[in-house]
Amino acid sequence: MHRWKTIVEPFRIHSVEPVRFNTREERSSRLQQAGFNLFGLRAEDVLIDLLTDSGTGAMSRDQWAAIQHGDESYAGSPSWFRFLDAVRSLFPFEHVIPTHQGRAAEKILFSVIGGPGKVVPNNTHFDTTRANIEYTGAEAVDLVIAEGHQPQVVHPFKGNMDVEALEALITAVGAHNVPVVFVTITNNSGGGQPVSLANLRAVRAVCDRHGLPLFLDGCRFAENAWFIHEREEGQQNRSIRDIVRDIAAVADGMTMSAKKDGMANIGGWLAMNDGELAAQCRNLLILTEGFPTYGGLAGRDLEAIAQGLNEVIEEDYLRYRIRSTAYLADALSDVGVPVVKPAGGHAVYIDARAMLPHIAPLRYPGQALAIALYREGGIRGCEIGTVMFGRHPDGSEVPAAMDLVRLAIPRRTYTQSHIDYVIEVATWVAERASSLRGLRIIGEPPALRHFTAQFAEIDESAAA
């Protein structure tokens, strides 16, 4: 049978949102006003917003319909039970604690199990996870395999944990100082790269040897399951649901942002089997989020997530999702823009350090590239590099492992022509790469500086 090359979106458009066009001059002045921090822009001044895939996706007809069934009862709402069933049908943990988003789950969990002297390993901590751990005085350690730090090296499961390094860390610091081992699926900060079932099971074995619980940061679990379906031996004929259940079966709990593979605009959860831990977490939940049958969510949000969890594991959706991300990565690679290979699930990561060798890491090549994509084409991406990870709790600043610009693709939101435009703009910028300038930071907060830091462009001719 003939295989068509065109990626046909497995939906048609039912309701549209306008986007606004502006000029390069207007964008230049918006950049000045925002202190060259793209988080400081008004979204209306962005044409194609690839800042994040978090909460920015389009909901389906059936999700909007489910919202009408939202029951806002304070306790024991039917919407809560639909949510609970949907979560448990994929992740059968005993205790499910709804939160308003992923970081709320992290905050609650680490408030209970973190603290000075504790060490939490992960393949790569997402920035809010790291910040929530460090806020308690604990240490967050990244242990992704070596390939995960090499943008050009192709490996089917670049998000895998370095199991030997994990074993060595636990032995060095003592298992009693490790409250939990985390694995992030997919590994967002490392390029949206998947973790294999085999690796999860190897991590499980290490945890078992030391009597440690294993938790998943499950934000993009369905995309990770699709990669397992496509790339891991013996998984091709299995359903996504079964693969997700296998993933869940290795873990003792999870944190989740439903703004990603929950296909919702808000929401999350914390789940676990340990009843004592769950009781402590629920006490904090009541303090900060809400009653345990709604957390920080409205009943209608619980409905949207419950329906979203059914849709995100559909094969037609996942095939389109992963292929369309690869389409952008391949096109950029073809015109010589260095991208992290292979393409991740939710985003394409441009290797700004390789693209802009004339800008030193401490002059933020990722930020320089993100600014250029906005100035030239109204595209908003996100620096994932030295701005995000360079400042350490002791006040020192060192270059991050990589300087990337992430173009995150909101789910079911942009068409192929939007993406073709992104390719055109990125090509234009790449052809003028040597004219891009580095930046210096002129103001930054004590933590999570990338959200609010203010920058100034460095005039190299003046510096010379």
- Residues 438, 403: Cα–Cα separation, whole Å: 13
Which token pair is 156?
């089917």
| Distance in Å, CB of 431 to ligand F0G, minimum | 28
Closer to ligand F0G at the Cβ: 126 or 349?
A: 126
Which token pair is 443?
């103001």
Residue with tokens 């259940």: 245
Closer to ligand F0G at the Cβ: 128 or 193?
A: 128
Total residues interacting with ligand F0G, rule: CB under 6 A: 16
Among positions 86-115, residues that touch ligand F0G (CB under 6 A) are 101-103
Closer to ligand F0G at the Cβ: 244 or 430?
A: 244
Binding residue (CB under 6 A) for ligand F0G from 188, 199, 307, 325: 188
| Distance in Å, CB of 184 to ligand F0G, minimum | 5
Closer to ligand F0G at the Cβ: 363 or 412?
A: 412
| Distance in Å, CB of 259 to ligand F0G, minimum | 5
Which token pair is 438?
């580095």
Among positions 239-258, residues that touch ligand F0G (CB under 6 A) are 257
Binding residue (CB under 6 A) for ligand F0G from 45, 147, 162, 217: 217
User: E strand or H helix at 435, and its extent?
Assistant: none
Binding residue (CB under 6 A) for ligand F0G from 67, 119, 170, 219: 219
Closer to ligand F0G at the Cβ: 52 or 307?
A: 52
Looking at the DSSP assignment, which residues form a beta bridge with residue 49? 380
Among positions 384-423, residues that touch ligand F0G (CB under 6 A) are 408
| Distance in Å, CB of 456 to ligand F0G, minimum | 25
The answer to the question of residue 289 lying near ligand F0G (CB under 6 A) is: no
Nearest-CB residue for ligand F0G: 102
Among positions 118-177, residues that touch ligand F0G (CB under 6 A) are 126, 128-129
Q: 219 with 197: CB under 8 angstroms?
A: no
Closer to ligand F0G at the Cβ: 60 or 128?
A: 128
| Distance in Å, CB of 110 to ligand F0G, minimum | 12
Which token pair is 295?
């957390």
Helix, strand, coil percentages, rounded to 5, for the chain = 45, 15, 40
Binding residue (CB under 6 A) for ligand F0G from 54, 77, 193, 265: 54
Per residue, the 3-state secondary structure of 355-416, as one string, reads HCCCCCHHHCHHHHHHHHHHHHHCEECEEECHHHHCECCCCCECCCCCCEEEEECCCCCCCH
Closer to ligand F0G at the Cβ: 101 or 193?
A: 101
- Residues 188, 194: Cα–Cα separation, whole Å: 9
Binding residue (CB under 6 A) for ligand F0G from 184, 325, 333, 367: 184
Closer to ligand F0G at the Cβ: 134 or 217?
A: 217
CB count in 10 Å sphere of residue 249 = 13
Q: 41 with 272: CB under 8 angstroms?
A: no
| Distance in Å, CB of 268 to ligand F0G, minimum | 5
Closer to ligand F0G at the Cβ: 189 or 307?
A: 189
- Residues 272, 287: Cα–Cα separation, whole Å: 19
Q: Rounded to 5 degrees, what angle do the CA atoms 283, 264, 87 make? A: 55
Chain-centroid distance, C-alpha 44: 23
Q: Is 32 exposed, middle or buried (0-12, 13-18, 19+ CB in 10 A)?
A: exposed
Which token pair is 281?
């977490």
* Interface positions with ligand F0G (CB under 6 A): 52, 54, 101-103, 126, 128-129, 184, 188, 217, 219, 257, 259, 268, 408
